[in-house]
Amino acid sequence: MSKLKKLGTIGSLGVIITGGLVFGSAQAASAVTCRTPQTTPTSSTITGTTVAATSFEGSLSPFLPSTAGTGTAAVSSTTDHVGLCSAKLHVTADSGSVALMSLPLAAGTKTAGVDGWFNVTTAGLAGNDVPYIRFFSGGTRIADIYRYNSNGQLWLRVTGPSGTFTYTKLKSSTIPLNTWHRATMQVRANGSTSTIKVWFDGLQEFSSTAQNLGASSVSAVQLGAEHSRQMGDEYIDDVVVKRSSS
C-alpha cells in the first residue's frame, strides 16, 4: 500500500549542494589494485542511448562524486561483482556526513534508466534507508528506490507536483546485507502520465504509466543520498545508464 509524506527542503539537491558538498572529492585510488575491464557492462532491460557503462576499475568516472564531513566515495578492492574493484559509498551518523555519485544528463532528456549491481554491507539507523538509484529533475528528486533499514525491504518513493512523497513497498522479503543484488529502474518524465519501471534481481517489481511527477525531463541520476547522516556502507559495480529524448 502507498503512503504520503510532505517533501521538505532536504529533498532539494540544490539546497544540499549549497550547504557544503564537495564535488570531485573521492579518495584517491592509488592504493587500490584494479584491472582493465575485460568486458564493458551492458543492459538490455533499460532503453535509450548508453551514456555510461562502467565497472569502476580504477576510477569513478563518468560519475561525479560529492562528499561532506565523514562521508567518502572511492574505488575499493574490498569486494566486487565482476573484476577486482567496485565503487564504495561510506556515510556515518556524524553531523554533515554525505557521500554520493551523480551523473548529469543532456538537456532534453525525457527518459533515463540505470541498471547496476549493489551490495549494502552496513545498514543505517532504523527509520532511514540506504539508496539504490535516484532520479532528479532540476533540483528536485522525482523518484528513487532504496533498502529500508528497519526491515530490509525494497521501497519506491515518488515525488508529486505538490511536494508530497508517495511510498510503495516493492518487496516484502528482507534483502540480506553483504550480498550483491541487481537493481534496475527507468523513469520517463511526462507530467501526470509519467512512467516508472523497477526490476530487482531480474524480476519486474513495478510498472506504471500513471505516475504524476510534475516534471517533463530528467536532468541527472544519482547513486547515494544527498541528505546528511544517511548512514550506510554500499558497494556499487557494473553500472549502465541510458537516456533518450522521447
CB atoms within 10 A of CB 192: 11
CB atoms within 10 A of CB 30: 7
79 lies in which domain range? Answer: 3-27+48-244
Asked if residue 35 belongs to a domain, the reply is no
pTM of the predicted model as reported, rounded to 2 decimal places: 0.90
Alpha-carbon span 18 to 135, nearest angstrom = 19
How many domains would you assign to the chain?
Answer: 1
Would you state the cell numbers that stand for residue 162, as one nine-digit string? 505538490
Residue 26 has pLDDT above 90, yes or no: no
Confidence at 138, pLDDT banded by 50, 70, 90: very high
Residue 235 has pLDDT above 50, yes or no: yes
Alpha-carbon span 116 to 56, nearest angstrom = 12
Domain harbouring 212, CATH code = 2.60.120.200
Asked if residue 42 belongs to a domain, the reply is no
pLDDT tens-place string over residues 60-96? 999 999 999 999 999 999 999 999 999 999 999 999 9
pLDDT tens-place string over residues 219-229? 999 999 998 99
Confidence at 29, pLDDT banded by 50, 70, 90: very low
Contact status, residue 217 vs residue 109, Cβ threshold 8 Å:
yes
Indicate the burial class of 162 (C-beta count within 10 angstroms; 0-12, 13-18, 19 or more).
exposed
CB atoms within 10 A of CB 172: 8
